[in-house]
Structure 1
Amino acid sequence: MSQIDTQSLMLQMRSLAAQAEAKPVENLTKVKQTGQEKADGFADLLEKSVEAVSAEQHKAGNMKSAFEKGDPDMELSEVMLQVQKASLSFQAMTQVRNKLVEAYKTVINMPM
């Protein structure tokens, strides 16, 4: 068996401990940055989705107004289809909101 030098062993252990203490701070910073990017991405996705639903509703409203005013280019079937698309997209957005609220409540009620 080989002799273990206690001083070199302690020196190695201190060196490893110093490295271990330094690395989590760097990794934590990277995790926070990555998490923030993902959070921004999710927020952007939600914002774009709400804007898309709003655009569908405005388009349906404009088509309805044009049809009611007697625009010869507007057909009833196109107007009805656009109104249904707007309604369906709004219902889907409402369901997503409900699921997010439900998930939030579940997380909040979790014991620590």
Structure 2
Amino acid sequence: MDIKGNSLYSQMQSMSLQAMGNKLPTTGADAIGVDGIPANSVGKINQSTSNFGDMLSSALNNVNELQSDAGDKKKAFEMGDTSVTLAEVMIASSKSGIALDATVQIRNKFVEAYKEIMSMPV
């Protein structure tokens, strides 16, 4: 999975500010950020145009590609293709397994967060 940590962190940070009712700092010199601290000292918020749904979809597609690549290499090795080594098969299988485990953990965190949000009083 090719998720950039800084981008994800800055998106979570901006969502947190929006959820607390604070306005996002502007890029001007007189912008005020969290707790009255100038926005320049807080740091820049990522202005990327990709949204969370696109990023999640891309990550899931990447996991799917890793799974299918590992399956193809396994099949080729089992059929006796000499261009595929056992090491390549094991590495592809491990990559796909790790990616799937990470995806399951992310899903579990989303479900946990959803349940927590739904149990909040309105």
TM-score (norm 2): 0.59
- Runs of 4+ in structure 1 deviating by more than 6 angstroms, as ranges, are none
* Runs of at least 5 residues in structure 1 that lack an aligned partner in the other structure: 1-37
Structure with larger Rg: 1
Query: Whole-Å Cα distance in 1 between the matches of residues 54 and 91 of structure 2?
Result: 28
Q: TM-score, normalised by structure 1?
A: 0.64
Alignment of 1:16-31 (within 5 A): none
Give the equivalent residue in structure 2 for 1:23. none
1:77 maps to which of 69, 87, 93:
87
Counting helix residues as a fraction of each chain, which structure ranks higher?
1
Give the AA of the match of 2:60. Answer: V
1:44 aligns with 2:54: yes
Percent identity over the alignment is: 41
SS of 2:51 mapped into structure 1: helix
Q: CA deviation at 1:99?
A: 0.1
May I ask how many residue pairs the two structures share in their alignment?
A: 74
What's the C-alpha RMSD, in Å, of the aligned pairs? 1.3
1:60 aligns with 2:70: yes
Unaligned runs of 5+ in 2: 1-47
